[in-house]
Amino acid sequence: MSATAPTAHDDHGHGHLKLVYQPSLPINNGKLFLWLFLSTEIMFFAGLIGTYIVLRFGVPSGSWPAPHDVHLVEAIGALNTGVLLFSSVTIVMALEAAKNNQTGMAKGWFLATFLLGSVFLGVKAYEYNSKFQHGIYPARPRSLLHEKADIYYLQAARLRLEGLQKHYADAIAAKKLPIPGGGAAAVTIAAGAETAAAEGAPATPEAAPPTITPYLNIDDVTEGKDDPNVQHYIVATNLLNHLVKFAEQVAATDPDPLARRAAMELVATAVYPLHHGPGGHEHFVNALKSEATRLANEKDSLAQQDQALQADKQEKLKQIEEQEKAETKDEAALTQWKEEVAKVDADLAASGLRADAIDGRIQVHGDLAAAQHGLNEAHHWLRLPMKIPSGNMWASTYFLMTGFHAIHVLVGLIAFAVVLPKRLDSTRANLIENIGLYWHFVDLVWIFLFPLLYLF
């Protein structure tokens, strides 16, 4: 210190200043470097945190995900804050001990700091893993987050379910078990409907393929009932046919835009309900009930319509029969009657399809109502796309900020590991002080990140 300190100035009586040259700041070069580095770090993290605040409060009000929506546990964050604060104390204790040449004590405190930093990173890894388990990643293609429930959301859900269906069908075939429901009958209804919806025009009835796989029941399975592949195949197939494709049909053909939106939102809520409160699930179940009532009414009117169509058909068949018997055949009239019968048959087939769709839909309601925390929670292997508004922005900012912080922690741990084998006496006090300054800064950043990410 004395080398850089100015010598006492003497201006007694002479009336002018005698300036003393001071070659540098009164601190050692290492510490000066570290403080310059930290001042750039302040700006670096201020940029990240500032951007986060601006993005967080810039989203439409109420759409930023709540901590529980994205599997953030505040208590774990608070625990990690405590760990880091404690490690800040242990590093100053190490510095104090080193200054007093208590090398054993210094080493002990230093080791404690290293271990606490490792605990912090371990907890962080656990937290990241719990996000990954639920399909929350910073970016596509792994991320399952969708901003809203639109036709692209339904498309993503359908592609996922079709993939699962194929995967489990292959697995079942490999075990030489019969595929429930015949397997091959699983045709896509929505292939035509989807393109129509993308163009914004309702699909024509002809676009619908001829069959709908009925709801598969596990109790009807004769072989391999306990095989998880069979069980998963049944769940995926039912959801594909009676949840997602049904919604795609509505989204493509319903003239009411509110009904289209409601059908798509229902899929999103079934997969991943955003508000986990007890009232939220009740609300969902009530929505299912009202849909069931509506569908039952529709089925009744379909049955009446079918009766009328059947009577009409009998009438027309009789006409044809008479025409065939007549001696002078009116070929033109005969063709016309036949065409009309074909038309009635087409109508009957369409209403039969619709009735099958309604049956399957009402049966799948039971599965949806049973999955109280959403299908993704009920069946972890499903990993269907989830609707979390602003979820992608959340994931980007969360992983970026905690990731940069974790890298800083890692650098600190490396520095600890390098210094730890050395003798920590007063000659190394400056080194320990500099590492400590860096470590305190890492703590400082977390002090702001914790409330901003976990509690805001």
Partner 1 sequence: MADHAHSHDDLEHDEHHAPPGSGKYWAVFIALVVLTIISFAVGNSSALRENAPQVMWAAMMAVSSAKAMLVILFFMHLKWEANWKYVLTVPASIMSVFLLLMLIPDIGLRTRHYADDRWLYAAEPAPAHAAEEHGGEHQHSPKEDGEKKHAS
Residues that bind partner 1 (CB under 8 A): 1, 5-6, 8-9, 17, 19-20, 25-27, 35-36, 38-40, 42-43, 46-47, 50-51, 53-55, 57-63, 74, 78, 81-82, 85-86, 88-89, 92-93, 96, 147-148, 200-202, 255-258, 260, 389-390, 433, 436-437, 440-441, 443-444, 447-448, 450-451, 454-456
Least separation in angstroms between residue 68's CB and partner 1 is 12
Give residue 109's Cα distance to chain centre: 41
CB 103 within 8 A of CB 424: yes
In the complex with partner 1, which residue's Cβ is closer, 51 or 129?
51
Give residue 235's Cα distance to chain centre: 20
Least separation in angstroms between residue 54's CB and partner 1 is 4
CA distance to 265, 302, 355, 357, per residue, from 296 (Å): 21, 10, 10, 12
In the complex with partner 1, which residue's Cβ is closer, 167 or 440?
440
Least separation in angstroms between residue 414's CB and partner 1 is 21
Least separation in angstroms between residue 315's CB and partner 1 is 34
Least separation in angstroms between residue 58's CB and partner 1 is 5
In the complex with partner 1, which residue's Cβ is closer, 171 or 447?
447
In the complex with partner 1, which residue's Cβ is closer, 128 or 448?
448
In the complex with partner 1, which residue's Cβ is closer, 66 or 185?
66
Least separation in angstroms between residue 264's CB and partner 1 is 13
Least separation in angstroms between residue 85's CB and partner 1 is 5
In the complex with partner 1, which residue's Cβ is closer, 33 or 132?
33
Least separation in angstroms between residue 112's CB and partner 1 is 13
Least separation in angstroms between residue 158's CB and partner 1 is 21
| The two three-digit tokens of residue 424, written as one number | 């920590």
Contacts of 188 (CB under 8 A, 6+ apart): 158, 162, 209, 245
In the complex with partner 1, which residue's Cβ is closer, 55 or 285?
55
In the complex with partner 1, which residue's Cβ is closer, 126 or 456?
456
| The two three-digit tokens of residue 299, written as one number | 């089925």
Least separation in angstroms between residue 336's CB and partner 1 is 32
Least separation in angstroms between residue 63's CB and partner 1 is 4
In the complex with partner 1, which residue's Cβ is closer, 313 or 448?
448
CB 145 within 8 A of CB 136: yes
| Alpha carbon distance 42, 183 (integer Å) | 60
In the complex with partner 1, which residue's Cβ is closer, 86 or 399?
86
Q: Residue 222: exposed, middle, or buried by beta-carbon count in 10 A (0-12, 13-18, 19+)?
A: exposed
In the complex with partner 1, which residue's Cβ is closer, 18 or 380?
18
User: Which residues lie across from 387 on neighbouring strands?
Assistant: 146
